[in-house]
Amino acid sequence: MRSMINAKQLTHEFFRRDEEGNVEGISVALDHVDLDVEPGQFIAILGHNGSGKSTLAKHINALLTPSEGTLIVDGKDVSNPSNTLDIRETAGMVFQNPDNQIIATVVEEDVGFGPENIGVPTEEIWQRVESALKGVGMWKYRSHSPNRLSGGQKQRVAIAGVMAMEPKCIILDEPTAMLDPDGRAEVIRVAHELNKKKGITVILITHYMEEVVGADYVYVMEKGHIIMDGTPREIFSRVSELIAHRLTVPQITLLAHELKKSGMDIPDGILTREELIEALCR
């Protein structure tokens, strides 16, 4: 099967410039990253601020192109400018701040903006808008003004806007960082539903550990490198390493880890309360 996303030795360098625009130095945002995502996978990328995870995301829909190495999205090389538009239709992106992504004054018009822009016939635009808004549970708000919605609802509208482009892959770049706990849960639930029901490949970039528990595979980034990768259970078994890398684990995983250190017989990589209770009462 063809990979949805395949990065080989992907490197991205930024020039740092002084006030006159002279190059002062070079920052390496991505440093020889290898990564492979199969169609239909739910992938999480973890890392603290400045680890390179957003730079990686921006390559996947060709907002940035590699300085070195290659990145192939659904068979197309992002370094080739003639592929740019195709790649942006294949891989849609949702950003952190919902207020920066919504442009229309009515929800359904905002969702229809993307398909209209690429010349989809009017009849079909409305079908896509309906299906996208139903997919994120926002159909009943179709004639509302976006500025009256909660943060979680706005972010779901932004996701619907991407869905209406019928992408094969959605990249969510810290979509919940500005939301309250209810809003966060809504957005993550919608991402999983789109993945399961429509088979859309999801790349979720986050620093909330609780949000990666349901992913198929997790990459942990630091200083432009992938420093760990594995299933959530494998990653969360390495508690001390994660903490050393400025990250943390869910409170229950941390409690299990602490109990084990105190001499109790508890397996590594406990993710949920049920698992911990099972281990305690066995």
Partner 1 sequence: MSIILDHVTYTYSAGTAYEVKALDDVSLKLSDGEFIGIIGHTGSGKSTLIQHLNGLLKATSGAIYFNGQDIYDKDFDLKGLRTRVGMVFQYPEHQLFETTVFEDVKYGPKNQGLSDKEATNRAFDALSAVNFPDEYFDQSPFELSGGQKRRAAIAGVLAMEPDVLILDEPTAGLDPKGQRDLLTLIRRMHKESERTIILVSHSMEDVAEYVDRIIVMDDGKVFLDGTPETVFSHVTELEERGLAVPQVTYLMEELKGRGIPVEGHATTLKSAKEEILRLSRAGALHV
Q: Would you tell me which residues interact with partner 1 (CB under 8 A)?
A: 48-50, 150-151, 177-178, 180-183, 207, 209, 246-248, 250-252, 254-255, 258-259, 262, 264, 273, 276-277, 280-281
Q: How far is the CB of 255 from partner 1 (least distance, A)?
A: 6
Identify which of residues 117 and 262 has a Cβ nearer to partner 1 in the complex. 262
DSSP SS3 for 32: strand
Q: How far is the CB of 251 from partner 1 (least distance, A)?
A: 4
Q: How far is the CB of 165 from partner 1 (least distance, A)?
A: 28
CA distance 167 to 88: 8
* Residue 249 tokens, joined: 């684990």
CA distance 201 to 41: 5
Query: DSSP letters of 44-97?
Result: EEE--TTSSHHHHHHHHTTSS--SEEEEEETTEETTSGGGHHHHHHHEEEE-S-
Residues 263, 267, 268, 270: is their CA dihedral positive or negative? Answer: negative
Q: How far is the CB of 225 from partner 1 (least distance, A)?
A: 17
Identify which of residues 142 and 257 has a Cβ nearer to partner 1 in the complex. 257
Q: How far is the CB of 149 from partner 1 (least distance, A)?
A: 12
CA distance 212 to 196: 15
Kindly tell me the number of DSSP H helices and DSSP E strands found in the chain.
10, 10
Identify which of residues 85 and 277 has a Cβ nearer to partner 1 in the complex. 277
Identify which of residues 196 and 273 has a Cβ nearer to partner 1 in the complex. 273
Identify which of residues 73 and 276 has a Cβ nearer to partner 1 in the complex. 276
Identify which of residues 104 and 259 has a Cβ nearer to partner 1 in the complex. 259
The residue among 113, 9, 103, 125 whose CA lies nearest residue 59 is 9
Distances in Å between the alpha carbon of 107 and those of 5, 96, 190, 240?
A: 31, 19, 17, 45
Q: How far is the CB of 62 from partner 1 (least distance, A)?
A: 26
